Amino acid sequence: MITDYSQILQKLEQLKPVKYANTRNFINGDVSKLSPYISRGVISTLDVFKYVIAKGYPFYKIEKFIQELAWRDYWQQIWINKGTLINSDLKNKQLGVKNYLIPKAIIDGKTSIKAIDVSIEDFYKNGYIHNHLRMYIASLCCNVAKSHWKLPAQWMYYYLLDGDWGSNALSWQWVCGSNSHKLYYANQNNINKYCHTTQKNTFLDIEYNQFNDLNIPKELIELEDIILTTPLPKMTKEIIIDINKPTLIYNFYNLDPKWKINIDANRILLIEPSVFENYPISKKSMEFMIDLSKNINSIQLYVGEFKELKKITKESNIYFKEHPLNKEYFGYEESRDWMFPSKENYNSFFKYWKICKKNLMSI
């Protein structure tokens, strides 16, 4: 995965926002693969929106692409509004739960559904899964194997380079019905169509009305409990703070190289053990974050809690970007970039999108 800022910006050149609408659900469709950079705060949904609009595409031709960007902003707004409530069943209790573990076949990529197994194998190598495969995997775990969504979601978040707990937890809950009104199912026909496979006679080779009576298939019966821990990096040298300069805090969700680029400041990549204990990430995800941070001039790594860092920075003014995981920070909080900055609590995406779209079309 590339981490150099100028190469990341070049990825914008490769976008195919018009073809996106008809191809995005296919495993080889014209998806952007920008999520690792959007999730890490290197670029914003607003940057991407402005870029495609500046290219002169008429709004109606790229509406689907913009709508998907809006999903990300929407899940973030819910995270801000609901806080840690998103860590448990948000709107409804997940029904039919038989365990709070994860099917071993998912972890091993041996579900017997070829397209899913290949995607899990790739996932461990690349840290990315296509959206449709994420939905298939979540549906298998929650709606077929009857696992509660939380542990499988944490497993996925752990390995995703685009790990974003808002999009992750809320999408899992959307699939299993705890944040939506119905469960999401995909049968083998659907998987074959979108993944270009021809598999037959699997436990998913059924009609949709048969899902209600589907027993947990033997392939998904064995379960695992997993303990996910974050390999924290070692600090090789003490950080140096000039207290006459402001201190800018970067973290897992803010690695924006453009942020206050023209000011002379202490720039700190803050890795708080408490955050990564609650929301663990893999070694690859940690390395990806650190590599991305190298786009930020003279950034220094600090592994420790904000309150400890605060003692070192002394009188230096602290600046940070708003995020639900930054509740313990204090100093000057700045807004993130949004396509549609609204603090209202929308109860459904489509209500949000209606207003968001009107707003965007007037830009």
Ligand X SMILES: Cc1cc2nc3c(=O)[nH]c(=O)nc-3n(C[C@H](O)[C@H](O)[C@H](O)COP(=O)(O)OP(=O)(O)OC[C@H]3O[C@@H](n4cnc5c(N)ncnc54)[C@H](O)[C@@H]3O)c2cc1C
Query: 330 φ, ψ to 5°?
Result: -140, 160
If the CB atoms of residues 153 and 248 are measured against ligand X, the closer one turns out to be: 153
Tokens standing for 160?
């995703």
Using CB under 6 A as the binding rule, the residues of this chain from 221 to 240 that contact ligand X are none
Binds ligand X by CB under 6 A, chosen from 3, 32, 44, 111: 32
Measured from the CB of residue 104, what is the shortest distance to ligand X in angstroms? 19
DSSP state at residue 251: B
Q: Where are the alpha helices (H) located in the chain, listed in sequence order? A: 5-13, 17-23, 35-39, 45-54, 63-82, 104-108, 114-126, 131-139, 150-159, 165-176, 188-195, 273-278, 283-293, 306-313, 349-361
Binds ligand X by CB under 6 A, chosen from 162, 219, 256, 272: 162
Q: How many angstroms separate the Cα of 144 from the Cα of each of 97, 178, 251, 313?
A: 10, 15, 37, 51
Measured from the CB of residue 167, what is the shortest distance to ligand X in angstroms? 4
Measured from the CB of residue 96, what is the shortest distance to ligand X in angstroms? 18
If the CB atoms of residues 156 and 269 are measured against ligand X, the closer one turns out to be: 156
Using CB under 6 A as the binding rule, the residues of this chain from 64 to 83 that contact ligand X are 68-69, 71-72, 75
Task: Return d(Cα 236, Cα 314) in angstroms, integer.
Answer: 22
Binding of ligand X at residue 52 (CB under 6 A)?
Answer: no
Using CB under 6 A as the binding rule, the residues of this chain from 113 to 132 that contact ligand X are 131
Kindly give, in sequence order, each residue whose CB lies less than 8 Å from that of residue 190, ignoring residues fewer than 6 positions away.
Answer: none
Selection from 89, 282, 253 nearest residue 170 by Cα: 89
Window of 163-171, 194-202, 260-268, 346-354 that interacts with ligand X by CB under 6 A: 163-171
Binding of ligand X at residue 154 (CB under 6 A)?
Answer: no
**One-letter amino acid for residue 193 of the chain:** K
Binding of ligand X at residue 249 (CB under 6 A)?
Answer: no
Binds ligand X by CB under 6 A, chosen from 40, 134, 146, 150: 134
Are the C-beta atoms of residues 330 and 258 closer than 8 Å to each other? no
Measured from the CB of residue 182, what is the shortest distance to ligand X in angstroms? 15
Are the C-beta atoms of residues 99 and 71 closer than 8 Å to each other? no
Q: Residue 300's beta-bridge partner residues?
A: 268
**One-letter amino acid for residue 159 of the chain:** Y
Binds ligand X by CB under 6 A, chosen from 8, 24, 47, 154: 24
Query: 247 φ, ψ to 5°?
Result: -115, 125
Binding of ligand X at residue 353 (CB under 6 A)?
Answer: no
**One-letter amino acid for residue 155 of the chain:** W
Q: How many chain residues are in contact with ligand X, going by CB under 6 A?
A: 28
Binds ligand X by CB under 6 A, chosen from 44, 94, 143, 168: 168
Binding of ligand X at residue 39 (CB under 6 A)?
Answer: yes
If the CB atoms of residues 171 and 293 are measured against ligand X, the closer one turns out to be: 171
Helices (H) and strands (E) in the chain, counts: 15, 7
Binds ligand X by CB under 6 A, chosen from 8, 31, 42, 151: 31
Which residues form the interface with ligand X (CB under 6 A)?
A: 24, 31-35, 38-39, 68-69, 71-72, 75, 131, 134-135, 138, 156-157, 160, 162-164, 167-168, 171-172, 175
